[in-house]
Amino acid sequence: MFDWEEKPELNITPLVDVMLVLLAILMVTTPAIIYQEEINLPKGSKTKAYKKTKSINIKVDAKKRIYVGKERFSYSNFADSFIMLAQKYERNIPIYISADKSLSYGDVMYILKVVKEAGFLKVSLITSE
């Protein structure tokens, strides 16, 4: 016989298990989704080809011989020679200094100081990778 007073019990354990599995799948796959949109950028009013900017490369070898481009300078009179050479360059041109690793820190900082005192603003030290 059927008892109308009996309250049915709901077993939601399988439903919770399925939902937890779906949540785990969603959490694992969401970081792997890559969103990519194609963007059409407007054209500018002026189109100009990019020019490679001029730079000055200063190289110092292990015997303290200094090369600025193709010119060679001695370490002892580099300050005066570089200030004379710097007069024909603009002060915002980038300068790259690469020195031999056997040189002392003070030797490299002397060259950096001379370049800064000549008025150049963009000075970088080049290292090997």
pLDDT tens digits along 80-91: 888 888 888 888
DSSP letter, residue 99: E
- At residue 124, the pLDDT reads 84
Span 56-126: which CATH code? 3.30.420.270
CB-CB neighbours of 58 under 10 Å? 23
What predicted TM-score, i.e. pTM, was given to this entire model? 0.56
On whether the CB atoms of residues 71 and 58 are closer than 8 A, the answer is no
Could you state, in order of their start, the residue ranges of all structural domains in the chain? 56-126
DSSP letter, residue 62: T
Structure tokens at 114: 């001379």
